[in-house]
Structure 1
Amino acid sequence: MSETIWSFIIVMILLTMSGTMAMIRKRKTPEDYLVASRKVNPWLTALSTVATNNSGFMFIGMIAYTYRFGYESVWLMLGWVLGDLMVWMFVHPRVRKISGKAKINTLPLLIGTQDNSANRLIIVSAGLITIVFLGIYAAAQLKAGSTALHALFGWDMYIGAIIGAAIVIVYSYAGGIRADIWTDAAQSFAMIITMLAILIAGFLKVGGPYALTANLGAQDPALVAWFPQELQFGILAFITGYFFAGLGTVGQPHLMTRLLAIKSVDAIKRARVYYFIWYVLFFAASIGVGLYCRAIIPDLSNLPSVTGLKEPTELALPLLTMQLLPGVFVGIALAGLFAATVSTADSQIIVCSGTLTQEIFPRWKDSYLASKLSTLAVTTTALAIALFAHEGVFGLVLIAWSAMGASLGPVLVIRMFHLPLTAPVALAMMSAAVITVSIWHFSGFDDDILKIFPATIVALLIYLSWFGMHHVKLSK
């Protein structure tokens, strides 16, 4: 056990140092703090975006989802990746070009600005959505990271969340978004090495695809069924929901910040190649790990170590790691998990603090001190949510992702393609999307169609109705 603890501590120190090293490049300006002076290389952008997009959600949420539902989780990956690819091809280049030309550092400001004219009502509304739901997303990361410490040391979950919040402050004060990006790049390698090591160990213990399928089928035939059973709206609607989740990337401020920070529009093409190679590999690996975990630890929910947890299956990765890997590698794997989730929380909290100082209270927009104080305030709020929220990691992520993707995403796309849009229509779209997400979450249909799908459709219908009436009036 001692070698596990020492390897965990050493790797955590090294990963934290990779972020604090950003101090040597930082400038004490809001632009450098929020978008790294727009000088990030494409490979760093790609690795950072992968790590930020896939840390707690993949390490904890996706593996737990696959543990519970088996092969059908492949459709989540397929839909999500295809939607994300569409955004990278058609929206991201426009985002970088327009934001760079206008010197815009945050997504709400980009959403609320058209033809060099900023609408304060849209900006503040988008900023409030960002702070609320990205704060929830950050809380999910703190909860995800705490599972590593719970599994390794047996500590209560709140201890890991508090430690994670403290490290967030260190990252943020060291170098802002650049510290996140540098740390993310290092963690991308730790993440994929961990997943591959577990897959190899699982293969040696259980066997290949045929043996794995036989094992899972003997537990429950539904685990090896490619399509979910008894869907209220059919398989096509189920898959389309996750395609819309991929499209919802465009409404995620913590991911779009990476695109604002990349050094040029042309660099996006190279970043896209690096991103999807890493993304698809990591997504597929997380599904594989979830399947092997179900095969090796079928009674996970009955283990003493998960007693009292809201979502016991979210300890699947830590428990499987401790069962399959030597002590040294357990420490490395869990340190990678913890550091990745904390770094993602950090990037989300920095975006929230930027929104506070740049949009909600613009009189502080040139204050470096205000940026740091707002980071402290947002971190405290995210920690409170992590400590008291009843939802698990997977549930919190999908709530936040859906709300931001459906409310901010459609308005941003309309702006990027220079389509007409008035402030009342934009506000109606964002409000209706958030309300629809909330209603759908409690409707009982969320397992049949992901909430971002109906919420996005509602927002687009509002716009299309207004657009149609707008053109009728113009024609008269």
Structure 2
Amino acid sequence: MTTATVVTFVLYFVLLLGIGFYFYRRNESIEEYLLGGRRMGAWVTALSAQASDMSGWLLMGLPGAIYLGGLVNAWIAVGLFVGTVLNWLLVSRRLRVYTETTGSITLPCFFEARFGDPTGLLRIVSAIVVLIFFTIYASSGLVAAGKLFESTFGVSYEAAVVLGGAIIIVYTFLGGFLAVCWTDLFQGALMVVALVFVPLLAYGQAGGAAGIREAMTLRDIAQSLRPAGGPTALLVVVSATAWGLGYFGQPHILVRFMSAGSLAKLSRSMGIAIVWVFLSLAGAVAIGLIGIGLFRTVPGGDPEKVFIYMIAEVTHPWIGGVMLAAILSAIMSTIDSQLLVSSSALTEDFYQKTIQRTAEQREVVLVGRICVVVISVVALLLALRPSDTILNIVAYAWGGFGAAFGPLVLFALFSKRTGWQAALAGMVVGTVVLVVWKQMGLGAHLYEIVPGFVANNLTIVLVNRFFPQTNEVVLRQFDEVFARVQGRTP
């Protein structure tokens, strides 16, 4: 801990809290609080979507996996890049138009309206899935925050988790979606600078390519993308690249598409986001590889801290403070989004539609803020006693959303005749298969998102043969949305 680091972090915290206070009185309706009024600009949409996507695992979990296992773990980055591109190409425009057409501000409400579910079961079950997996996901971010503060300031892990959680809760509680998106814009820019700048500085100190290869040979670390082991090798590649499937079902990313000001702005956002993701993933892989040459033994006994120690090794304390703040940016930019989406599941999908249908907007916003605090406390309690690495915790939650929601989103946007019975059955089967696969230990051989995603798709196709969509309003709405996306109607 240095004076420079402390000052940098304090200024950073003041900035975040200032943004939260600034947007506090601009949230007069629940749509403002949870979706920013659907008027976000191109840069804010792009960097907010990707910063909320790439949490602390990008700067800690992924570099740590590369540091331990070598290039074979870079397949995760490949899968994520492809998934990002496909998500923007296939989902963003259609989802923006469809959610506006149906008046939906949350993913569960969109499923209910899109598939014409008269029972409310689709909305309720999907909201429960959101709460369960986002609580797990948010706890992974608090684990990352705990490791960062523990390493940087020398405080206990438990105190570090509470400190990080308190700051995130305050500005999310106050500012809602607008505060989250505008902080993400700043945080996303800071993250990509750190991911490019630090490995460039560290490359020479690590001995260049020769020094990295020598260190990899001494530690018997994989030096190519090709894993050894026949059929097992194929499963390794499939498991890693399957991370890309998760994109189609991540509520905190999809809500950014829903909030864009227009389709034209969304198209500009896509180009910005793809460049950002490529630079960020390449930087994270480079940090893990360069760390092998820079640190011949595991830094601090924890490979997921390799970036933290690299910053201390190659940068001036003032610059290092800014770069460490970038790690905090990655952590906070995801947790705040997860808390807000979880809050929306309780307020919009449960409270306003089931408990208090006549609630005024100010009352609903207040309930939303209270829900942020409640969910944060549960995630914090889980983070105080972490049972796994950051990357593995994220993998479970990421896979959960991909298996539960990914196929539903794709069928909703591209299959006119899919009925609500098929969507509900697919979501339940996909989630159950994922959880059972994980609990049986089969995830060690094949990432659980794969069987869950496949089971969901097959169930939808099978059930839809017996219960196709017959609601004329829903069928007509699909045609209207398709025409708008194609530019045939204003």
TM-score by length of 1: 0.91
Deviation at 1:378, TM superposition (A): 1.0
Aligned equivalents of 2:308 and 2:316: distance in 1? Answer: 13
Aligned equivalents of 1:271 and 1:137: distance in 2? Answer: 25
Aligned to 2:28: 28
Deviation at 1:117, TM superposition (A): 5.6
Aligned equivalents of 2:21 and 2:247: distance in 1? Answer: 28
Aligned to 2:401: 404
Q: Which moved more, 1:358-367 or 1:286-295?
A: 358-367
Q: Secondary structure, in 3 states, of the residue corresponding to 1:104? A: coil
Distance 1:469 1:30, change over 3 A: closer
Aligned equivalents of 1:118 and 1:264: distance in 2? Answer: 30
Aligned to 2:224: 225
Deviation at 1:149, TM superposition (A): 0.7
Aligned to 1:376: 373
Aligned residue pairs, count: 460
Deviation at 1:216, TM superposition (A): 1.7
Work out whether 1:252 is the aligned partner of 2:250: yes
Give CA-to-partner distance per residue, 1:17-53, whole Å, 9 cap, x none: 34543347x2321000000000000111111111111
Q: Which amino acid aligns with 2:425?
A: A
Q: Which amino acid aligns with 1:4?
A: T
Aligned to 2:11: 10
Deviation at 1:323, TM superposition (A): 2.0
Identity %: 23
Decide whether the 8 Å contact of 1:113 with 1:119 is kept in 2: no
Aligned equivalents of 1:368 and 1:226: distance in 2? Answer: 49
Aligned to 2:447: 450
TM-score by length of 2: 0.88
Deviation at 1:375, TM superposition (A): 1.2
Decide whether the 8 Å contact of 1:11 with 1:336 is kept in 2: no
Deviation at 1:445, TM superposition (A): 4.0
Q: Which amino acid aligns with 2:426?
A: M
Aligned equivalents of 2:298 and 2:6: distance in 1? Answer: 23
Aligned to 1:309: none
Q: Secondary structure, in 3 states, of the residue corresponding to 1:3? A: helix
Aligned equivalents of 2:462 and 2:86: distance in 1? Answer: 25
Aligned equivalents of 1:459 and 1:85: distance in 2? Answer: 22
Decide whether the 8 Å contact of 1:16 with 1:183 is kept in 2: no
Unaligned runs of at least 5 residues, structure 1: 307-311, 472-476
Q: Of 429, 432, 436, which aligns to 2:433? A: 436
Decide whether the 8 Å contact of 1:134 with 1:400 is kept in 2: yes
Distance 1:190 1:416, change over 3 A: same
Q: Which moved more, 1:434-443 or 1:251-260?
A: 434-443
Q: Secondary structure, in 3 states, of the residue corresponding to 1:149? A: helix
Aligned to 1:342: 332
Aligned equivalents of 2:206 and 2:388: distance in 1? Answer: 32
Aligned to 2:388: 391
Work out whether 1:81 is the aligned partner of 2:78: no
Aligned to 2:183: 183
Decide whether the 8 Å contact of 1:72 with 1:225 is kept in 2: yes
Distance 1:114 1:10, change over 3 A: closer
Give CA-to-partner distance per residue, 1:209-239, whole Å, 9 cap, x none: 343223322321x33132222365442x443
Q: Of 251, 260, 263, which aligns to 1:262? A: 260
Alignment of 1:458-473 (within 5 A): 458-468=455-465
Aligned to 2:269: 271
Aligned to 1:45: 45
Aligned to 1:474: none
Give CA-to-partner distance per residue, 1:31-79, whole Å, 9 cap, x none: 0000000000011111111111112120111111111111112221112
Q: Secondary structure, in 3 states, of the residue corresponding to 1:420? A: coil
Aligned equivalents of 1:420 and 1:241: distance in 2? Answer: 31
Unaligned runs of at least 5 residues, structure 2: 469-490
Q: CA RMSD in A?
A: 2.1
Deviation at 1:454, TM superposition (A): 1.2
